[in-house]
Structure 1
Amino acid sequence: MSPFVAEFIGTMMLVLFGNGVVANVVLARTKGNGSGWIVITAGWGIAVFVGAFCAGDFSGAHLNPAVTAAMLIAGKLPWSAGVSYCAAQMLGAITGAALVFLFYREHFKASDDAEGKLACFCTSPNIRNLPQAFFCEVVGTFALILPIFLIVTPSLTQGDVPADTDPTLGLGSLGYLTVGLLVFGIGLSLGGTTGYAINPARDLGPRLVHALWPIPGKRDSDWRYAWVPVVGPLVGGALAAIVYKLIA
């Protein structure tokens, strides 16, 4: 399987499971309605593990443009691969969000909460202070990517990619579980302010689906906020890569 297809499938599964658990909790008349934040954060941790497990052996399971950008800055991914990875992640996130809507379509119809419907696709701050929300997304993504770099084993080469630019991260199955637990922990500890997007594709792709699809009873897609979960994670990832290069 090509890295492009792997990133597409992995990110699609990430969003299907991750936004799926949000829909199960917030939409009306679901089995999981009202089950709360811990269920959402646990579901997102599992989503990361599933997506990473699907893609890991083929692309390194970045599943996140902030991870890809950090890998580029750290010199662990050929620059020629960056655009391909990010395009696959965006397309995968869009597809995953569309599947969530189709899966929960009857519950979208049954729900009157326009804010909850938006939350099934993308993030928003609980207190609307955009500079503070930006700071939270930077810190949350930094707390994701620096530990990923620190738990990576010295990577073996894959194909004709030099060892110092191996996109696979060298995590292995146990490492993907560790990253899933890391995302679970970030959600529990740092997710209460913005909903911890920590991934531009995971937020922007589904936001586009929310904007374009005829979802009954929806509100606007909050484009005034949309730059925060895109730029914040990219900055946080870049800072993590810079710190890693300084201490590695």
Structure 2
Amino acid sequence: MDYSLMTRLAAEFVGTAFLIMLGNGAVANVDLKGTKGYGSDWMLIAVGYGCGVMIPAMMFGSISGNHINPAFSIGLAVAGMFPWSEVLPYIVAQLLGAIMGQLIVVACYKPYYDQTEDTNHVLGTFSTINSVGSKLNGFVNEFFGSFILFFGAIGITKAPFFQNNLGTAHFALGFLVWTLVASLGGPTGPGLNPARDLGPRILHSILPLKHKGSSQWDYAFVPVLAPILASIVAILLYKGLFL
């Protein structure tokens, strides 16, 4: 079935909002004081992000392709697998969805934001930061994490093994993200997605949070640029080798 551009944009908006609610919501549950999950381990966050990708993929993979990531839209367009005319509308829908998802996270966790004094923990529920303050290490981590994400995503969805059951392929994407966060998430979060980082960071900079601290805009280019470059390289490489 062919869906209109507006329908597909609605899917990208809702899908990205779900990603942020489930992913950043898990971070908030672990890092904000007083929550039921406060002080839980990293696997809770990995599960949140894995399901934050899996559930929208199952819902919208057959409607919009479930990009929910500007880097993926750009990489597909560079490889000739997605129309350039739709890249900007997709990115706008993804950014707005990320902002809406983060607004919902803040609404749900507002009392716990108020009693969390660690400003890095507060920012970490919005956007990524490098744990040792290194832009180089952050870029390396985001690039290779994103490379695996996009190479894996295009490989899973285009593999002959899944062509008669793309639902299973989209299900598998959740496990890919779950494993990525568990394996390579330590240094930065990770972002792997410009909308996932930039939309909430914009919101962090304007909301009157009690213990806000810096939005760290000097680092913000890392989780935007690295995933875009990784997406282009990964999708072109996979297309050149296997398609």
TM range (shorter): over 0.9
Cα distance, 1:170 vs structure 2:
9.1
Tell whether 2:215 aligns with 1:221: yes
Q: Deviations over 1:50-88 (max 9, x none)?
A: 222232221010000111111112211111111111110
Give the RMSD, CA atoms, in angstroms.
1.6
Matched, 1:28 2:33: yes
Note if 1:113 corresponds to 2:118: yes
Supply the AA of the counterpart residue of 1:222.
Answer: Q
Q: Which runs of 4+ in 1 moved over 6 A?
A: none
CA distance in 1, matches of 2:49, 2:33: 20
1:240 aligns to what?
234
Preserved contact between residue 154 and residue 170 of structure 1 (Cα < 8 Å): no
Contact 1:52/1:63 (CA < 8 Å) preserved in 2?
no
1:231 alignment partner in structure 2: 225
Percent identity between the aligned chains?
A: 38
Does the 8 Å CA contact 1:199/1:230 hold for their aligned counterparts? Answer: yes
Q: 1:119-157: CA deviations, max 9, x gaps?
A: 1100001122212211111111000001111122379xx
Residue in structure 2 matched with residue 185 of structure 1 by the alignment: 179
Q: Distance in 2 between matches of 1:137 and 1:154?
A: 25
- Where does 1:99-138 land on structure 2 (aligned, <5 Å)? 99-138=104-143
Query: Residue 159 of structure 1 corresponds to which residue in structure 2?
Result: none
Q: Distance in 2 between matches of 1:181 and 1:225?
A: 28
User: 1:203-228 CA distances to partner (integer Å, 9 max, x unpaired)?
Assistant: 00000111011111110100000000
Give the number of aligned pairs. Answer: 235
Q: Structure 2 vs 1, CA of residues 245 and 172 (structure 1 numbering), >3 Å: closer, same or farther? A: closer
Q: Which runs of 5+ in 2 are unaligned?
A: none
Contact 2:157 / 2:166 at 8 angstroms: preserved in 1? no
Aligned to 1:19: 24
Distance 1:7 1:174 in 2: 20
**2:62 alignment partner, SS class:** helix
- Structure 1 contact 153–170 (Cα < 8 Å) conserved: no
TM-score (norm 1): 0.91
Distance 2:82 2:164 in 1: 13
The one-letter amino acid paired with 1:22 is V
Tell me the TM-score normalized by structure 2.
0.92
